[in-house]
Structure 1
Amino acid sequence: MPRVTVTGFLICRSLEEADRAASLLPEHTRLTRAEAGCLRFEVFRSMSDPCRFAVHQIFASPEDYDAHRERTRASVWAKGTKGIIRELRISEQ
């Protein structure tokens, strides 16, 4: 079964928006890493551009990734980061 890899960026429009995302990130990370099939979940805020976050995620299967997306759909993270630009590449390997 192929793994799902997600890489890319979250791009905030303001420092306020970026700070809000950063404040929500620890709990979102904790919950995601506890999900079945989450093999890697890393989001890093850029030091050179604090409105930009690098994303690297790996899920064991497409089903695990789908479950992650379903869980987060109504989460505090989703509500708090609504509208933030996501430039993500999703691949199965």
Structure 2
Amino acid sequence: MSKIRLTGYIDVPEDRLEAIGSALAEHIALTRQEPGCLSFQVTPDPDVTGRFHVAELFVDQAAFDAHQARTQSSPWADVTNGITRHYTIEEGPA
């Protein structure tokens, strides 16, 4: 099995920063509790207002897919609806 790594960023419009900030802690906590989540980080960029860097690591494709399915029906999906993500997904050795 190969691990799945997602890296990239999301640029949140200024008028949505408060809502995103309110929902982010729960999104991180729920993701870190998911089976197969090895690491999940979302950190604000110190130089670009509204940019959040995202780094995820899952044990395999199935765990990553389960994460994607869960988030699609979560409050996080609602609060970030329509915001473009700039992500790269890579598969690597276990």
Unaligned runs of 5+ in 2: none
Displacement of 1:18: 2.4
Could you list the runs of 4 or more consecutive aligned residues of structure 1 that deviate by over 6 angstroms after TM superposition? none
Query: Which residue of structure 1 aligns with residue 29 of structure 2?
Result: 30
Q: What is the number of equivalent residue pairs in this alignment?
A: 92
Correspondence for 1:88: 87
C-alpha distance in 2 between matches for 1:7 and 1:23: 22
Question: 2-side partners of 1:57 and 1:6: how far apart?
Answer: 5
Supply the RMSD in Å over aligned alpha carbons: 0.9
Q: What's the TM-score, normalizing by structure 2?
A: 0.93
Counterparts of 1:13-52 in structure 2, within 5 Å, are 14-52=13-51
Query: Which runs of no fewer than 5 residues in structure 1 stay unpaired?
Result: none
- Identity, in percent, stands at 37
- CA–CA distance in structure 2, aligned partners of residues 84 and 70 of structure 1: 18
Q: 1:3 aligns to what?
A: 3
